[in-house]
Amino acid sequence: MRHGQPRDILVLGASAGGLEVLQRIAQGLPRDLPAALFVVLHIGTDRRSQLPAILSAAGPLPAVWAEDGATIEPGRIHVAPPDHHLLIEPGRLCLSRGPRENRTRPAVDPLFRSAALAYGPRVAGVVLSGALGDGTAGLVEIKRCGGVSVVQDPADADFRGMPLSALRYTEVDYCATAAEMAGLLTRFARGQPPPAGARHLPPGTPRRAMPLASGQEEKMTGGYDLKPPVALTCPLCGGAVRETAEDQLPYFTCHIAYFTCHIGHRFAATDMDEAQFREMESALEMALRVLNERSALCRRMADAARGRRAAHSAARWDDAAREAEERAEMLRHFIERGWLRPSPDDEEDRPDIPPG
């Protein structure tokens, strides 16, 4: 990584456990920081969020909800608003209600990708506490365009999934604790070398670099060649899904699957697993509800038949009700047994992190 190159576009992504880290970073930044910060925290559609006010109160820099078309200014924290992706274009911000990525909007990956495409080596991307893998693919774009990548030390994160995913699958330049992060970012912004003792991670073997795709739409989807459709459907819209070809992903240090539907919903493999599991649970619970409703309907039909003195018909409806109840009980037992849920965090081949 080159020193002396100011990184004045600082993009930060966090999910569960990230609020406290963002406050810590805001507290440690100087008033004269020569960089603009852009923050995505997974807040979904919660329009009651007070995130800008919280970050403004934590430190000297003003934090504001990002606005579509707003000018990029140094010394300001731009926060992705609820239910909108925050994108960066040269000199301005763009808000989008485009397809959810990794099951969320705002998502970290769109911010990171757009910053990398707009500002290249001027970008520093930071993945903080959070579950699953949002931000990993975005860090790849930042690295590919000459920027620097940083992750919160998983041992320091309340939820280590996002930092571990970045460390496991991508080339990461630095690993820092929440207490170290503000100082590291300040030095990046000023074009200064990191402080002595900063944990600079040795590079892996990057996959071959790719030229930027032509056309904004291709750029925003990464410009990757896609394999033929796989035997999966999008958990959000039911559309056909394609898997990103691993040999076309530079700066991934090992295989990671990404899935994209024709609408544009995009999932890392871990997020696809989570979305698929929730869809499966919902389908089973719906089946249980329908069986319970069938039992109730059959009992009503049996009572009506008895009122007409149609004994044979009543017996048939009673049998149908019992059948639905028996199968509902079997399904309920099946649901309540629980499921095997492998987690990448449990893998033995966790990435090595140099001691601090």
Q: How many CB atoms neighbour CB 304 within 10 A?
A: 13
Peptide bond before residue 34 is cis, with ω within 30 degrees of 0? no
Q: How many CB atoms neighbour CB 248 within 10 A?
A: 16
Question: DSSP label at 156?
Answer: G
Spot the catalytic one: 15, 114, 165, 295.
15
Is residue 15 part of the annotated active site? The answer reads yes
Determine contact, residues 219/117, Cβ cutoff 8 Å: yes
Spot the catalytic one: 8, 84, 109, 134.
134
Spot the catalytic one: 42, 84, 85, 265.
42
Is residue 312 part of the annotated active site? The answer reads no
CA distances 137 to 142, 176, 342, Å, are: 9, 20, 21
Is residue 343 part of the annotated active site? The answer reads no
3-class SS shares of the chain: helix, strand, coil, % to 5 = 40, 20, 40
Residues 6+ apart with CB under 8 A from 230: 241, 242, 243, 259
Q: Which helix (H) or strand (E) holds 247?
A: none
Report how far residue 109's alpha carbon sits from residue 158's, in angstroms, rounded to the nearest whole number. 21
Report how far residue 8's alpha carbon sits from residue 48's, in angstroms, rounded to the nearest whole number. 30
Give the active site residues.
Answer: 15, 42, 134
